[in-house]
Structure 1
Amino acid sequence: MANHPSSDYPDIGTLGEDLVTQWLESTGWVILHRRWHCRWGEIDIIAQRKDDLGTMILVFVEVKTRSPGNWDAGGRMAIALPKQVKVCRTAAMFLAKYPEKADYPCRFDVAIVCCQRKITKANAVASLSASGYYLTLQEYIRAAFEYLIDN
């Protein structure tokens, strides 16, 4: 089997983030940043919207894109405590850079995206077909973890 240059393959992580971004926008969220990074790490998606009471909410979304039958339960195992701490530190840096958002209630969500080469019927929240891949948003976990950094 020939080795193809990496440029022949799409960035599956980016495609997963594209799907989640489209789904968030379709449900009323305004995307503020994608792949926002600082010295502590990177947050895949940062979005905001008003809740039912008119309060602006900020959400930090970690997207895990995996193929079926992977080793880490669709990416759920990759959101262990060390990753949660890293995301929280990065979120704290974001809030320090954008102090006008520091008083917004914040939430940490996780999106589980399944990526496969062939289209199969799946129970999904949303789906996307791109570059020969079929992606489905299998699960969107609201408030997957709490803010873990003490001030």
Structure 2
Amino acid sequence: MKYISTLIAVKDLEKSKQFYHDVLGLDVIADFGANVTLTGGIALQTLDTWKDFIHKADADIVFGNHAAELYFEECDMDAFVDKITALNFIEYVHPLFEHTWGQRVVRFYDYDKHVIEVGENINAVVKRFIESGLSVEETAVRMDVPVDYIQSCLE
């Protein structure tokens, strides 16, 4: 068994392809008309063909149910947040905030209300704490992880 990708149904395939390209930098690597595979292991499927595939033509597909998310990591959270702040079409689940362990995250919706989380890469979190003057040991305490984990992030 091998995991291949996550497929999400979308109402407007062209609009969704543009969103994932412009916001997250994903490119189309295969275009089969009603199904598109993007870099990063995500596939987009038109809503009508999705209903056909699952043999539920009359199904009420519920968008925006907050039951799952697509998770991405970013090394430069400040630049990414500046980028999406400049886009006037981003609808936030919540703005940028910092978890107790120090990782900064933002969640927002795509056009079909799929939740997208972009979290700061953990190595970037460690680097940020070290550059702020915390020692390896203090960073481990701040992030509630073992010292060897912090050291491995710095290697």
Give the structure-1-normalised TM-score.
0.26
Point out which structure has higher relative CO (alpha carbons under 8 A, 6+ apart): 1
* Larger Rg, first or second structure (1 or 2): 2
Give the structure-2-normalised TM-score.
0.26
More helix by share: 2
